[in-house]
Amino acid sequence: SRFETCWPALMKDSHGVIIIFNPDLPSHLKEIEMWYSCFVQQQPLLDSQCLLVAHHKPGSAGDTENLSLAYPLNKLKLIHSNLEEDPEDVRMEFIKYFKSIITIINESREREEMSIIS
C-alpha cells in the first residue's frame, strides 16, 4: 500500500495494536492476516498486545456468532462492535484492553530496572 514506507515509524516503540475490520468483507479477513504479520509478529509483540475488532455497520446482518478466524488470528482477543446496539460493551472491552497493555508496560519496565540494578 502507499503507506508502507511509514509503517516503521508507526511501529516504533508501540505497545499495542488494535485491528478494526469489517467482517462482512471477505477481503478484510485476508488483510487482517497481513496487518497481524506486519504489526504484531514482526515487532515482535505478544498476542495479548493485539485486539481485533469486528465492526458491524448499522443495518448489517451482524452475524457475531459464526465469525471463525483461522490460526493465528484465532488466538487473539476478538470483540464485536455494534455502536447502535451496545456501545457500552465495546467501551468496557477497550478499557480492559488498555489496562492489560499498561500492566505489560509496567512489568517490562520493572524487569529493565531490575536488570540494571543486578
Q: Grid coordinates standing for 80?
A: 464485536
**Distance separating alpha carbons of residues 82 and 90, to the nearest angstrom:** 8
pLDDT at site 6:
82
Please report, in tens digits, the pLDDT of each residue of the chain (118 residues total): 567 788 888 888 889 999 999 998 888 888 999 999 999 998 889 999 999 999 988 777 655 566 888 899 999 999 999 877 778 889 999 999 999 999 999 999 999 999 998 7
93 and 20 Cβ atoms separated by less than 8 Å: no
Of residues 89, 101, 16, the one with CA closest to residue 56: 89
* Reported pTM: 0.83
**Distance separating alpha carbons of residues 28 and 93, to the nearest angstrom:** 22
Paired with 54 in beta bridges are 21, 80
3-state secondary structure of 85: coil
Paired with 77 in beta bridges are 51
